[in-house]
Amino acid sequence: MADHYFSAEPGSADVRRTVEARIWRREYTFTTATGVFSRDRLDIGTAVLLREVEPPTGPGTFLDLGTGYGPIACALAVEAPKAEVWAVDVNTRALELTAENARRAGVADRVHPVLPEGVPEVMRFDQLWSNPAIHIGKPELHKMLLHWLPRLAPGGVAWFVVGKNLGGDSLQRWMTEQGYPCTRIGSAKGFRVLRATNAGPSPS
């Protein structure tokens, strides 16, 4: 079976390369590899998200859900020098790359690349950022979001980018129905940028 970027242990050869990206007016060089999401460039959806939403600059605890090789996590940590960023992915190769890229960006002490189960249960997040893995299917996507959205701190905000043709509008409605009021704050290149807030139940 071919690898997917959401494979836990990619079986493909670990062939690495570097890509350049400009995020929030800063230039970055990231190491990527086969078996991870968008290894050849900064994904268009991620680029739209980072262009439409201004970065946080104050202290806080942030979650990059589905971090890939870590462009969002690294940029958040650079822009918010007093923040802690948890970079979550199921792909172990992606987590290795995120750690390497965080070291290159000088933020390895504040970027924590972990598997989902590596996040302490007591951890709550001021912001959640994600270009979610829509291709895992709607049931699994909803299950994932219902695990992480309740872990937003009171007043916490979640930012998502989702392709319009991959259900961006229906996902917006679904999150609102689940108790996480969601609005569209941008739309470009076939992607919706969504903002959800924590009005849902507290985690048990």
pLDDT digits (tens, 9 = 90+) for 24-42: 999 999 999 988 877 678 9
pLDDT confidence tier of residue 12, bands split at 50, 70 and 90: low
Give pLDDT, residue 137.
81
Tokens 């302490």, located at residue: 120
pLDDT at 197 over 70: yes
* pTM of the model as a whole: 0.88
Give pLDDT, residue 10.
55
- Computed over every residue of the chain, the mean pLDDT equals 89
What are the tens digits of pLDDT across the range 123-150?
Answer: 999 999 999 888 788 889 999 999 999 9
CATH code for the structural domain at 43-197: 3.40.50.150
Mean pLDDT of 89-118: 96
Q: Burial of 97 by CB count in 10 Å (0-12 exposed, 13-18 middle, 19+ buried)? A: buried
Give pLDDT, residue 4.
42
Give pLDDT, residue 1.
33
What are the tens digits of pLDDT across the range 142-194?
Answer: 999 999 999 999 999 999 999 877 667 888 999 999 999 999 999 888 899 99
Give pLDDT, residue 166.
66
pLDDT at 203 over 60: no
Rg, Å, the chain Cα set: 16
